[in-house]
A = this chain, B = another copy of it.
C-alpha cells in the first residue's frame, strides 16, 4: 500500500469525486489534486471544501501531468472522456472510474491502462457538500479488468482504491452489471415507481416505511437514465424476476392463503435481517 501519486485528477467532483479527493488528501495519497468539471462555481465549492487543490474546466489540460485520473461523471460520458484523457496524459498514467455500469464502458475503451471500477458507496444526495473522507471505508469497490487490461495498471488501480479505504474485489464487467441490476438498479426503479404512484393528497399519510422505500428515487435523473440505458437487458431480466416474485404474492393474496403469505414475508425478512441495518 505504498502508492504515492504526484498529481491526481478527478473528473466530476460531486459526491463520489469529492469523497475521493477528501480521502486522498486525508490519507496523503496525492501531492496535488485537480478537479475537472463544467461548472466553475461547483468546482470552486470543491476547492473551498478541500476536496481538490486546483480546478480546471479543460480535461486535456487537467490530465497532462496526472499520474492517475478517476472519472466520476454520469456513465454515458465516461468512455469519451477517457478517450480524450488517454491521449493527453502521461503514457504510464493509470485511469479508473466510479461508474455504476461497466460493460458498456469497458467495451468502448481501448486503453490497457484504464481499469473500470465501481465503489459501492453513495447516496441519494448529490454534490460535494455531502462528500466525506470515509465514504469508501469498509465498502466494496468492484474492479472489472478485461483481457486488454495491463496487469501493472490493475495493480496500481487496486492500490488506489485500497488506499481510499475500500475493500477491492474483481468481477467481469458482465457479472458486475448483472449483480448490480438486482442490488442497485432494480431498487432504484422500484423506489421511483412507488414514489410516482403517490397522489399529492396522500402525502400526509406516508410514514417512515414509504420514505425509506422511496428514498433513492430522489437520485439525480441525469445520472440514472444512462445507467438504465447501459444496463437495459440485465435490468429487464431483474424486473422479470421481481414480477415473478410479486406474482406469487398476488396469487397467495387472491386465494387468501395465509401460509404462503407468511412464508413469503418470512423469506424476505430473513434476507433483510441478515443484511443488518
Listed in ascending order, the chain A residues whose CB lies under 8 Å from chain B are 120-124, 139-140, 142, 169, 179-180, 182-184, 186-198, 200, 202-219, 221, 224-225, 228-229, 232, 235-236, 238-239, 241-243, 245-246, 249-250, 253-254, 256, 258, 261-262, 264-269, 271-275, 277
- Which of B183, B190, B229 meets A190, CB within 8 Å? B190
CA gap between A232 and B203 in the complex, in Å:
22
Q: Which residues of B are found within 8 Å of A254, using beta-carbon distances?
A: 232, 236
- Which of B212, B218, B250, B258 meets A273, CB within 8 Å? B218
Contact B217 A272 (CB under 8 A): yes
Besides A186-B197, A197-B241, A214-B271, 11 more A-B contacts (Cβ < 8 Å) are A140-B204, A179-B202, A183-B202, A183-B206, A186-B194, A190-B190, A217-B265, A217-B268, A218-B272, A228-B253, A236-B253
Some 18 contacts from A to B, beta carbons below 8 A apart, are: A179-B205, A187-B209, A187-B213, A187-B214, A188-B209, A192-B268, A196-B264, A196-B271, A200-B274, A203-B274, A214-B272, A214-B275, A215-B272, A221-B262, A225-B265, A228-B261, A232-B256, A236-B254
